[in-house]
Structure 1
Amino acid sequence: MKYRILGKTGYSVSEISLGTWQVGGGWGQDFDDAVADRIINAAIDQGVNFLDTADVYDDGRSEAAVARVVRQRNRGGQEQVRFATKCGRRVQPHTDENYTVEALRSHVEASLRNTGLETLDLIQLHCPPSAVYSRPEIFGLFEDLQREGKIQHLGVSVEKVEEAVTALQYPNVASVQIIFNMFRQKPAETFFQMARERKVGIIVRVPLASGLLAGKYTIQTSFHPQDHRSFNRDGAAFDKGETFSGVPYETALTAVEELKKVLPGRADLAATALRWILMWDQVSCIIPGASKPEQVQRNVRAVQEEPLTGQEMEAVQGVYDRYIRPAVHHLW
Structure 2
Amino acid sequence: MVNVTSMKYRKLGKTNINVSEISLGTWQVGGKWGEPFSHDTADQILNAALDAGVNFIDTADVYGDGESEKAVGRVVKSRSEWIYVATKCGRRLNPHVNEAYTPEALRAFVEASLRNTGLDTLDLIQLHCPPTEVYYRPEIFELFDRLKEEGKIQNMGVSVEKVEEALKAIEFLNVTTVQIIFNMFRQRPAELFFREAQRRDIGVIVRVPLASGLLTGKFRPETNFAPDDHRNFNRNGEAFDKGETFSGLDYNTGLEAVEEIKKLFPYQQNFAPVALRWILMHEAVSCIIPGASKPSQLYSNLQALEVPDLTPEQREGVKAIYEAKIKPLVHYNW
**1:210-289 maps to which residues of 2 (within 5 A)?**
210-289=212-291
- CA separation in 2, counterparts of 1:276 and 1:287? 14
Name the residue aligned to 1:177: 179
Whether the aligned pair in 1 keeps the contact of 2:31 and 2:63 (CA below 8 Å) is: no
Secondary structure, aligned partner of 1:124: strand
Whether the aligned pair in 2 keeps the contact of 1:24 and 1:35 (CA below 8 Å) is: no
**1:23-102 maps to which residues of 2 (within 5 A)?**
23=29, 25-74=31-80, 79-102=81-104
Matched, 1:209 2:211: yes
1:294 Cα deviation (Å)? 1.1
1:19 Cα deviation (Å)? 0.3
- CA separation in 2, counterparts of 1:91 and 1:24? 18
From 121, 124, 136, the counterpart of 1:122:
124
Letter in 2 for 1:71: K
1:28 Cα deviation (Å)? 2.4
- CA separation in 1, counterparts of 2:306 and 2:125? 30
Name the residue aligned to 1:325: 327
**1:307-318 maps to which residues of 2 (within 5 A)?**
307-318=309-320
Q: Gapped runs of 5+ residues in structure 2?
A: 1-6
Name the residue aligned to 1:10: 16
Secondary structure, aligned partner of 2:79: helix
Letter in 2 for 1:12: N
Equivalent residue pairs, number: 328
Whether the aligned pair in 1 keeps the contact of 2:215 and 2:258 (CA below 8 Å) is: yes
Q: Could you report, residue by residue, the CA deviation over 1:268-319 in whole angstroms, capped at 9, with x for unpaired residues?
A: 2100000000000110000000011111111111011101111110000011
Question: 4+ residue stretches of structure 1 with deviation over 4 A?
Answer: none
From 155, 158, 175, the counterpart of 1:156:
158
Name the residue aligned to 2:133: 131
Letter in 1 for 2:102: T
Secondary structure, aligned partner of 2:177: strand
Of stretches 307-316 and 65-74 in structure 1, the one that deviates more from structure 2 is 65-74
1:24 Cα deviation (Å)? 5.9
- CA separation in 2, counterparts of 1:183 and 1:106? 36
1:140 Cα deviation (Å)? 0.1
- CA separation in 2, counterparts of 1:24 and 1:284? 24
Whether the aligned pair in 2 keeps the contact of 1:24 and 1:34 (CA below 8 Å) is: no
Normalising by structure 1, we get a TM-score of 0.97
Whether the aligned pair in 1 keeps the contact of 2:30 and 2:64 (CA below 8 Å) is: no
- CA separation in 2, counterparts of 1:99 and 1:252? 35
Letter in 2 for 1:139: F
- CA separation in 2, counterparts of 1:266 and 1:306? 11
Q: Could you report, residue by residue, the CA deviation over 1:36-92 in whole angstroms, capped at 9, with x for unpaired residues?
A: 000000000011000000000010001110111111114xxxx11100000000011
Of stretches 253-262 and 202-211 in structure 1, the one that deviates more from structure 2 is 253-262
Q: Could you report, residue by residue, the CA deviation over 1:308-332 in whole angstroms, capped at 9, with x for unpaired residues?
A: 1111100000110111001100100
Normalising by structure 2, we get a TM-score of 0.97
Matched, 1:195 2:201: no
1:22 Cα deviation (Å)? 1.0
- CA separation in 2, counterparts of 1:31 and 1:227? 13
- CA separation in 1, counterparts of 2:31 and 2:186? 26
Q: Gapped runs of 5+ residues in structure 1?
A: none
CA RMSD of aligned residues (A): 0.8
- CA separation in 2, counterparts of 1:252 and 1:32? 30
**In percent, how many aligned pairs have the same letter?**
64
Letter in 1 for 2:330: V
Letter in 1 for 2:174: N
1:262 Cα deviation (Å)? 2.4
Letter in 2 for 1:209: A
Secondary structure, aligned partner of 1:264: coil
1:148 Cα deviation (Å)? 0.3
Letter in 1 for 2:178: V
- CA separation in 2, counterparts of 1:11 and 1:53? 18
Secondary structure, aligned partner of 1:262: coil
